[in-house]
Amino acid sequence: MRILIYGDESMGSLLYELFCGEGHSVERYNESVAISSFDVLFICVPWDFFERALREVSHKARRDALLVDTLQEKDLTIPMLEGTGFDYFSIYPLMTIESKITDVVVVRKSGKREEKIILDAFAKSGSKVVEMNLHEYQKWLVEDQVLEGVDQMRNSIRSIDRFILKLLERRIEIAQKIARRKSKMNEAIEVREVEEEKMREILSETSLNPLLTKEIFELIMKLTKEEEYKALGISRTVAILGPKGSFSEEMGLKLVGSRVPLRYCFTTDEIIKLVESGEVDYGIAPIENSTNGTVFPVLDALLNHDVEVFGESNLEINQCLVARRRLKLNDIKRVLSHPQAVAQCMGFLNNYLSNAEIRYTSSTSDAVNLLDDYSAAIMSENGARLHKLYVLRKGIQDLKKENITRFYIIRKRTGKTCGRITSLFFSVEDRPGSLKDALEVFQRKGFNLRKLESRPAKTVLGDYVFFVEVEAPLSEEDLKELREVTAFYKVIGVFDTIESLNVYE
C-alpha cells in the first residue's frame, strides 16, 4: 500500500514513522511527488490550509484513492470531503506532549480495505481505537476529552465554538417552529414571564459571572426572536400595555390584526423606552379617556424621551363586571380593577355595590389573579373570555356610548411631519402675561387648541411645562414665532388618525 503524507506537521511525522515501521511505502508530499501514484493520502495540514490542500489532492489523485482526514474540525472537513466524490476516512488521532498517538477516534468510514490496514497499524502501536458518529464526536469534544498541549487546547476551543454555533442554529430552528404554531394560535412571540423564568433557571445553574451570563443569554434570545419574526414575514414589532386581555391589547389587535408582533409591557414608560432604544418599532400608549381625562404618565414620558407621535386612534371602552362563578350583586364583597377602570364605573359601583370594598390593581387583567369566590373584577368582555370568567353585568361604565380612550402611536424620531394635528410641549418665563403671549401665537393664526395641559417642570416649585394639541400642522414660520415667546418648546409629533399598522415586510 503506497501512502502519501500531505503536510509536514508533527502529526504527519508520527504517521510517516508508524507506517514506515509497518513496511508500507510512505512518502512526504513535495512538488515533485506524483499524487496520482498513491493508494492512500493522509491530509495533515492546519485547518487554515485544509481547503487548499484538499482541492489539490482531489484534483490530482486517482479516483480510487482513499483520502484520510486527521483534523479535529470534523463538522467542517466532512462536508468538504463529501463534495469531492472520493472515498474518505475521517479520523482524529490524539497526540500527547511526548508525541505519541494514544487514541484514534473514527468518525466516518468508507468501507475500503485500506481502512482496516490503517486501524490495525494504530492498534499494533498501542493506540486505542474508538468509533463514534459526528454528533457523539462533537459532544465528546466538548465534554469528555483530556487535553494536552496548547495547540490541542486551542483547537478544542475552536471546535466548541463551532458546536455552540450549531446549537444556536438548532435553537433558532426549534423557535421558528414554535413561532409558526403561535401564529396559527394568534399568540404573541414574546412572553416576558416565560423569558424571565428561563433566565432565572439559567443563572441558577452556573457559577459564572451572573451579569455577563445574563447579557449573553439576552443577546441569544434577541437573535432568536429576530429569526422567529423573519420566519413569519414580520419586520416590525409593537409595544403595548399588558397583560393579555387589556384594552391596550384590544387597541393593538384593532390596528395590527394579530397578537404575534405584540410585546406586552408593565408600564407606559416602558413602552416609550423600548421605542426610543429601538427594541421595538412602534408603541401604542393611551393618552386620554373621555371620563378620566389625560393619562399623565404618558405625557411625562413623552416629554423626557426622544420619540415622536405619528398617529392616533380611538377605542370605545365597554367595562364588564366579571367573577370566577355566578354571583348575585349583594354577595360580592370586593371589587378589583385598575384605578381608571374603577373611576369609569363609579356610578354603577355607588348604586349597586356600595358596600363592596374597592381594591386597585396594576391593570384590569391583573385583577384576575386576586379573584376569590366572593370578589369581582372590572374588565373588558374580551378579557373575561380570555380568562374564562363569568360576565355578571355588561356596559357598567358611566358613559354608555361615549366612553372613549384615545391612543398615541409612537416611533423613534424621524423628523417626518405629516398630518393635521401637532402635539408639543413648551414653557414660558415666570412673568405676567407670558402664557398669554404664547397662546396668542395660535390665536392670531386661527389655530384651535383641542387640548391644553400643564405639568410640573420638576425643577422648582411653581415651574410648569405646558402641553398642547394644535389643530394644524405647524410650519417653520409658526415655530419661529413660538420660539420668540417661550423659554423652550418640543414638538413630539404631527399626525392624523390611523386605522391600521403594517408590521409585515
pLDDT in tens, the chain (505 residues): 899 999 866 788 889 889 998 899 999 988 888 999 999 999 998 877 888 999 999 999 999 999 999 988 888 899 999 999 999 999 998 876 666 788 899 999 999 999 999 999 999 988 899 999 998 888 887 765 555 556 667 766 777 787 788 889 889 999 999 999 999 999 999 888 888 899 999 999 889 999 999 999 999 999 999 999 999 999 999 999 987 888 899 999 999 999 999 999 989 999 999 999 999 999 999 999 888 889 999 999 999 999 999 999 999 999 999 999 999 999 999 999 988 889 999 999 999 999 999 999 877 667 888 999 999 999 989 889 888 999 999 999 998 778 899 999 999 999 888 899 999 999 999 899 999 999 999 999 999 999 999 998 888 787 889 999 999 999 999 999 999 999 999 999 999 999 999 998 6
**Which CATH number does the domain housing residue 368 bear?**
3.40.190.10
- DSSP for residue 504: B
217 & 122 share domain? no
Euclidean distance between the first and the last CA atom of the chain, given in angstroms as a whole number: 61
381 & 333 share domain? yes
Q: How far apart are CA 237 and CA 226, in angstroms?
A: 10
62 & 186 share domain? no
Of 468, 359, 366, which Cα lies nearest the Cα of 424? 468
**Which CATH number does the domain housing residue 24 bear?**
3.40.50.720
Q: How far apart are CA 359 and CA 261, in angstroms?
A: 32
Which grid cell is 12?
A: 504527519
Q: Domain residues for 140?
A: 2-146
349 & 485 share domain? no
User: How high is the pLDDT of residue 364?
Assistant: 66
In a domain, 505, yes or no: no
Q: Which of 231, 262, 280 is the last residue of a domain?
A: 231
Of 293, 298, 316, 329, which Cα lies nearest the Cα of 382? 316
9 & 136 share domain? yes
Q: How far apart are CA 486 and CA 193, in angstroms?
A: 45
360 & 471 share domain? no
Q: Which of 117, 146, 175 is the last residue of a domain?
A: 146
Of 216, 236, 228, which Cα lies nearest the Cα of 177? 228
Q: How far apart are CA 266 and CA 201, in angstroms?
A: 22
In a domain, 459, yes or no: yes
Residue 12: Cβ within 10 Å count = 19
* Strands 307-316, 357-360: pairing kind: unpaired
- DSSP for residue 490: E
- Is 0.95 topped by the overall pTM? no
- Written as one letter, the residue type at 167 is L
Q: Collapsing DSSP states into helix, strand and coil, what is residue 92?
A: strand
How many distinct structural domains can be found in the chain?
Answer: 4
User: How high is the pLDDT of residue 338?
Assistant: 86
Residue 92 and residue 105 in contact, taking contact as beta carbons nearer than 8 Å:
yes
Which grid cell is 348?
A: 354603577
Residue 337 and residue 364 in contact, taking contact as beta carbons nearer than 8 Å:
yes
In a domain, 488, yes or no: yes
Q: How far apart are CA 48 and CA 320, in angstroms?
A: 69
User: How high is the pLDDT of residue 457?
Assistant: 84
User: How high is the pLDDT of residue 150?
Assistant: 62
User: How high is the pLDDT of residue 141?
Assistant: 76
In a domain, 292, yes or no: no
45 & 136 share domain? yes
362 & 444 share domain? no
**Which CATH number does the domain housing residue 474 bear?**
3.30.70.260
In a domain, 283, yes or no: no
**Which CATH number does the domain housing residue 218 bear?**
1.20.59.10
Which grid cell is 421?
A: 394635528
User: How high is the pLDDT of residue 146?
Assistant: 53
* Torsions phi, psi for 271 (to 5 deg): -55, -50
In a domain, 56, yes or no: yes
- Written as one letter, the residue type at 72 is Q
347 & 224 share domain? no
16 & 133 share domain? yes
392 & 485 share domain? no
User: How high is the pLDDT of residue 397?
Assistant: 92
390 & 429 share domain? no
In a domain, 285, yes or no: no
In a domain, 213, yes or no: yes
Q: Which of 199, 231, 263 is the last residue of a domain?
A: 231
Q: How far apart are CA 201 and CA 199, in angstroms?
A: 5
Q: How far apart are CA 159 and CA 181, in angstroms?
A: 33
User: How high is the pLDDT of residue 160?
Assistant: 77
- DSSP letters for 282-314: EEEEEEEETTTEE-HHHHHHHHHS-EEEEEEEE
Residue 118: exposure state from Cβ atoms within 10 A (0-12, 13-18, ≥19): buried
